[in-house]
Structure 1
Amino acid sequence: MFTGIIESLGKIEQLEKEGGNLHISVKSDITSALKIDQSVAHNGVCLTVVSIKDQVYTVTAIEETLEKTSLRTLTTRDKVNLERAMILGSRLDGHIVQGHVDQTAKCINITEKDGSWFFTFEYDPDLNNVTIEKGSITVDGVSLTVVNSNKNSFSVAIIPYTYEHTRFGGYKIGSLVNLEFDVIGKYVARMLELRQ
């Protein structure tokens, strides 16, 4: 489990394909605190640390993960949002995040206003995921509040700190991001679906 509060930006050092798997090596200032078998969210995707060497650690994404997330588009030197698993009993500053990406979305608009930024993302509504106004959404692992909720799009407001300390500062129109919808909302939507 995660909170959606990004700890660090990592840099992709190496990508190595092996069958359907992709080994992702990341250089990060949190590497020294990691252990093998530990879970770390990478742009919102929970992956297991399989090796550590100096300031670089490696995780492996399986084929299904690559198909369902934006990790398939990674290149060396890309930055990734990183968060270690939450500690039970700690303050929950974001919202409950599982690290299980529901689908990807495309950035369709970026507007700067009064020192903050508004990003709008569009996603495929056929997967039956929904947002609600003032509800929670996770974009590339970042816990955010939804504004302008529509059937297949939503916006989020980004403060300067988040813009500078996460991948948001590098997004452009067309950028592909990972979405994890609010877990409570997903259960409610599923229960309503089963009633029909």
Structure 2
Amino acid sequence: MFTGIIETLGRITALEPKDGNLHITVRTPLANELKIDQSVAHNGVCLTVVAIEGNEYSVTAIAETLQKTNLGELRQGDLVNLERAMILGSRLDGHIVQGHVDQIGTCTQVRETDGSWYYSFEYDGALGNPTIEKGSITIDGTSLTVVDSKKNSFGVAIIPYTYEHTRFNTYGVGSTVNLEFDVIGKYVAKLMQGR
């Protein structure tokens, strides 16, 4: 479980496709605090640490993960949002995030507005993932509040700190992002389908 509060950015130093999987090596100051078998969210995708060497560690994304997320688009030198699993008993500063991406979305607008930024995203509404006004959404692992919720699109407003300390400052129109919809909202939507 995660909170959607990004701890730091990591830089991709190596990508090795093998047998349909992708082995990803990340450089970050967090590496010396990690251990083998630990879960770390990468752009919101929960992956298991399989190797650590100095200030780098490696994880493996399987074929299914590559099909449902933007991790297959990573290139050497790219930045990724990183968050270690939450510690039970700590404050939940974001919202409950599983690290299980529901689908990808596409950035359709970036607008600077008096010291903050407004981003719009579209996604395939046919998959049944709901957003609600002032509800929670996770974009590339970042916990955010939904504004301008529609059937297949929504917006988020980004404060300067989030803009500077996450991948948001790299997004432009057409950028692909990982979306994890609010877990409680997904259960409610599923229950309502049966009525």
Q: How does 1:1-196 map to 2 (within 5 A)?
A: 1-195=1-195
Distance 2:83 2:161 in 1: 16
SS for the counterpart of 1:187 is: helix
Distance 2:5 2:160 in 1: 15
Distance 2:12 2:97 in 1: 23
Report the TM-score, using the length of structure 1 for normalisation: 0.99
How far is the alpha carbon of 1:194 from its aligned partner? 2.1
Deviations 1:134-190 (Å, cap 9, x if unpaired)? 000000000000000001000000000000000001101100000000000000011
How far is the alpha carbon of 1:29 from its aligned partner? 1.1
RMSD: 0.4
How far is the alpha carbon of 1:68 from its aligned partner? 0.2
Distance 1:186 1:175 in 2: 25
Deviations 1:68-125 (Å, cap 9, x if unpaired)? 0000100000000000000000000000000000000000000100100000000001
Extract unaligned runs of 5+ from structure 2.
Answer: none
Distance 1:101 1:17 in 2: 21
Tell me which stretches of 4 or more aligned residues in structure 1 moved more than 2 Å: none
Distance 1:122 1:28 in 2: 31
Extract unaligned runs of 5+ from structure 1.
Answer: none
Amino acid corresponding to residue 122 of structure 2 in structure 1: E
Report the TM-score, using the length of structure 2 for normalisation: 0.99
SS for the counterpart of 2:133 is: coil
SS for the counterpart of 1:146 is: strand
Amino acid corresponding to residue 158 of structure 1 in structure 2: I
Distance 1:37 1:126 in 2: 35
Distance 2:123 2:156 in 1: 14
Distance 1:190 1:151 in 2: 16
SS for the counterpart of 1:30 is: helix
